[in-house]
Amino acid sequence: MTNRSLRKAVRLTSSYVLLSLAALFCIYPALWVLLSSFRPGDMLFSETLLPTSFTLLHYKQLFENYPFAEWYVNTFKIAIISTVISTVLVMMTGYVFSMFRFTGRKSLMSMLLTLGLFPGFMSMIAVYILLNQMNLLNTHAAVIIVSAAAAPLFFLFSKSYFDTIPRSLVEAARIDGAGHLNTFFRMILPLSKPLVVYVVLMNFTGPFTDFIFARLVLRTPEKKTLAVGLYDIVTDRTKLQFTMFAAGCVLIAVPITALFLLLQRYLVAGLTSGAEKG
């Protein structure tokens, strides 16, 4: 073997080893929780990684002991509605800041960006009182409104993307007599598919993940979302059932993971195109 091909072999082998190790670390927790969810009993502890017998009991328990099906419906409802609103708001804000020049534009942009840094629950008490005044406590509308209202703070990503769309395209559409809204919905949105997918994905996963604020607002069991419900299951000190928690994790992770894998192609494109323009 020549020196050159030996070095190549070493490089490739070490690369594969590194990748496999990293992959193991990535997969292991997911695999572990999946296997635990099928394991009889309620302890996570086990002598073997592969359970000796499989059971679907924990999944059944979730639906019997908790309104898990309702949580599913709630989460999807909130996720879909708030995603639609938030996405339009984020895209619109980014579009306006990218395409138009008007007085106060830069200071408004800086203001929004700075506000985005403010720790969210600093203001939770005030938002809570506000929602109370609007009679929106323990409603899904509250969660939707609050997440949609905060969405425009994260416009920078969509703005950087729109900055790359040739201005002449927009001007051509305008000359052809398209109004601003028409241009936006008919031309800009179709042109920015990767961005839309990215923004939708980010907003859609929110209700599956955010539980701190949702927990404050949604009080009765039938109103909860998956995240709130599952967090309450796992922090319930009276009956710790790790295997059931594992089953719940699997049920939450499945739709999101499926969506990610399905949209992976766009995700990479959206992330990088936004990133390049930083």
In the range 14-73, which residues lie near other proteins by CB under 8 A?
Answer: 15-16, 18-19, 22-23, 25-30, 32-33, 43-45, 49
> Which structure tokens are listed for 7?
């070095």
CA distance 32 to 50: 9
> Binder to other proteins among 171, 222, 236, 276 (CB under 8 A)?
276
Asked if 215 contacts 30 with a C-beta cutoff of 8 angstroms, the reply is: no
Does position 179 bind other proteins by CB under 8 A? yes
Asked if 131 contacts 217 with a C-beta cutoff of 8 angstroms, the reply is: yes
Other CB atoms within 10 A of residue 6 CB: 10
Does position 137 bind other proteins by CB under 8 A? no
Q: Please name the amino acid found at residue 19.
A: L
Least distance in angstroms from the C-beta of 79 to other proteins: 11
Q: Residues 94 to 133: which contact other proteins by CB under 8 A?
A: 95-97, 99-102, 105, 108-110, 112-115, 117-119, 121-127, 129-130, 133
> Binder to other proteins among 78, 144, 153, 217 (CB under 8 A)?
153
CA distance 215 to 226: 11
Least distance in angstroms from the C-beta of 136 to other proteins: 12
| Comparison of 54 and 260: residue with beta carbon closer to other proteins | 260
> Which structure tokens are listed for 273?
């195109």
Least distance in angstroms from the C-beta of 243 to other proteins: 11
Phi, psi of 234 (to 5 degrees): -75, -25
Does position 77 bind other proteins by CB under 8 A? no
Least distance in angstroms from the C-beta of 70 to other proteins: 19
> Which structure tokens are listed for 23?
């992959």
> Binder to other proteins among 140, 159, 223, 224 (CB under 8 A)?
159
| Comparison of 191 and 271: residue with beta carbon closer to other proteins | 271
Radius of gyration of the chain (CA): 24
Q: Please name the amino acid found at residue 9.
A: A
Measuring CA to CA, which residue among 246, 255, 258 is closest to residue 44?
Answer: 246
Sequence-distant (≥ 6) Cβ neighbours of residue 187 within 8 angstroms: 169, 170, 173, 178
Least distance in angstroms from the C-beta of 278 to other proteins: 4
Does position 6 bind other proteins by CB under 8 A? no
Q: Residues 229 to 268: which contact other proteins by CB under 8 A?
A: 230-231, 234, 242, 245-246, 249, 252-253, 256-257, 259-261, 264, 267-268
In the 8-state DSSP scheme, what is residue 189?
A: H
Least distance in angstroms from the C-beta of 233 to other proteins: 10
Least distance in angstroms from the C-beta of 176 to other proteins: 15
How buried is residue 241: exposed, middle or buried, by Cβ count under 10 Å (0-12/13-18/19+)?
buried
* Residues in binding contact with other proteins, number by CB under 8 A: 97
| Comparison of 126 and 175: residue with beta carbon closer to other proteins | 126
